Structure 1
Amino acid sequence: MIEFERLHHVSIAVRDLKKARRFYSEVLQLQEIERPPFNSKGIWYAVGPHQLHLLEHPQGGTLRTGEIDTVDGHFAVWVKSYKGTIEWLEQAGVPYEARPQSVAGFAQIYVLDPDHNIIEFDSPYGS
C-alpha cells in the first residue's frame, strides 16, 4: 500500500511565461518561490504548504481553448472569504463563474488564467 502524506504540487502548462507571471504574481498575488535550473522554462509558487508549478509549453498542444468547464481538469484553492475573493476578482477585472450555494457543500468560484487553465476558489458558505 502507498502511504500518502500530502499533495506536493500541481503543474500546469502555459504558452507565455511572462503573461502567466503577471496573472499569478500580480493579479492573484501568489508568492513566487525558487525553482531549480531545469532546461525548461517555468515558475514555481507557494500556495500554503503546497506548490503550483507553471511550465511554458512552446507548442501549446496540451492547452485548453474553451471557456470554463467545471468537469474539465482544474485545480482548487481554499480561500478564507468568498465575498472578499469576488471583490478582488472584480477589482482586477477577472471574469468568474460563481456558485455561492454549490451542492458541493461549500461555495465555489471558477476563473480562467490567460491560457484557459481553470482555477477554482472554494470557501465556506456565506464567508
Structure 2
Amino acid sequence: MKKLIRIKQLHHVSLVCRDLQRSVVFYRDMIGLEQIERPDFDFEGAWFALGAGQLHLIVDEARIPNNPLEPHSRNPHFAIRVEDYNETVKWLKENEIEMIEKPHSKSGFAQIFCQDPDGYLIELHVPQEELRKSL
C-alpha cells in the first residue's frame, strides 16, 4: 500500500479550557511543562513545550464538553513519558491530584492516569522494564 502522507512527528495537541490561569498552573506547576512563547492571537491561550512537540491551550468555553468522563484508561487521552514512575506518583499524591495507577498494564507501560482542571485525561508513563529496575 502506498503511503500518501509521510509523517515526521506529532507537532502539538490542542485543548480548550474554561479558566486559562487555572490550566496554566496545572500544566506548568503540577505536570512540569515549560511555558513557551505564543503568537498574539485574538483569543486567550498558552503554549507549552512537550518533548519535541507542544501543548496548546485555547480558551473557548463553548467548545468544552459539558460532562467530563470519569477517569478511565480507555477514555480519549494523550500520553507523556516521564523519568520516574514512583516520583511521579509521589508528586501527584503530595499535590492531591486524583489518579489511577496501572503499573502492570498489558500495554508494556507502567501507567498513571490523571485529569486536568477541565477533565481531560493525561497518561503519564514509563516502560515497565524501567519500573522493574527501580524496585
**TM-score interval, smaller chain:** over 0.9
Among the aligned pairs, what percent are the same residue?
A: 38
TM-score, with structure 2 as normaliser: 0.87
Q: Tell me the distance in 1 between the aligned counterparts of 2:110 and 2:5.
A: 32
Which structure shows the bigger proportion of residues in helix conformation? 2
Map of 2:20 onto structure 1: 17
1:93 partnered with 2:96? yes
Alignment map for 1:40-79 (pairs within 5 Å): 40-62=43-65, 64-79=67-82
For the Cα contact (< 8 Å) 2:35–2:49, is it kept in 1? Answer: yes
CA RMSD of aligned residues (A): 1.4
Higher RCO (CA < 8 A, seq sep 6+): 1
The separation in 1 between residues aligned to 2:13 and 2:65, in whole angstroms, is 15
| Ranges in structure 2 where 5+ consecutive residues have no aligned partner | none
Where do 5+ consecutive residues of structure 1 fail to align? none
Distance in structure 2 (CA, Å) of the matches to 1:61 and 1:8: 22
The 10-residue stretch of structure 1 (88-97 or 54-63) with the greater mean CA deviation from structure 2: 54-63
* Deviation for aligned residue 1:88: 1.0
Structure 1 residues 4 and 50, CA gap change in structure 2 (3 angstroms): same
Q: How many residues align?
A: 127
Counterpart residue type for residue 27 of structure 1: M
- Post-superposition Cα deviations, 1:54-85, rounded to whole Å, max 9, x if no partner, equal 11112254354232132222110011211111
Normalised to the residue count of structure 1, the TM-score between the two structures is 0.92
- Please state if 1:26 is matched with 2:29: yes
Alignment-mate amino acid for residue 56 of structure 1: V
The worse-fitting range, judged by mean Cα deviation, of 69-78 and 9-18 is 69-78
The one of 6, 9, 14 equivalent to 1:6 is: 9
Q: How far apart are residue 114 of structure 1 and its match? A: 0.7
